[in-house]
Structure 1
């Protein structure tokens, strides 16, 4: 992996932590903040895959995507139903 891709992946993960904290403070709910964090972690994982895909990196990215799908399903299920 090149140095630029490594720095970009690290920056994406760091920005994700900051963005998730901002969402958590402003909305005061964990699930939306977790969803934002996972979006940034997916971006960081894809940047890492661009540098040199290995099975470990592919498995990690797939796991993050799977967790993101579960969080999205949880957010949809927790919405109040409107008549």
Structure 2
């Protein structure tokens, strides 16, 4: 199975357990980052690098939102 599928399952489990969207979204984004990095290891292309960078940027914003602070 793909890391993205595992991420969706893990995020759904967090959403059911916590009943809050932000922690579930953070888990999903962590899995998407991992999936992107795995893809980069096999096929380093500029579009893949841009996709991973975008997911990391969104993850930073979500993490800041969970803490209630602005990202650095």
What's the TM-score, normalizing by structure 1?
0.80
Stretches of 4+ aligned residues off by more than 4 angstroms:
none
1:52, distance to aligned residue in structure 2 (A): 1.5
Instruction: Give 1:30's match in structure 2, choosing from 3, 21, 44.
Output: 21
Q: Structure with the greater relative contact order (CA < 8 A, sep ≥ 6): 1 or 2?
A: 1
Q: Provide the aligned length of Structure 1 versus Structure 2.
A: 69
What's the TM-score, normalizing by structure 2?
0.92
RMSD: 1.2
Deviation per CA, 1:27-82: give whole Å up to 9, x if none. Answer: 0000000000000000000000001111100000000000000000000008xxxx
Between structure 1 and structure 2, the one with the greater Rg is 1
Any unmatched runs of 5+ in structure 1?
1-9, 79-83
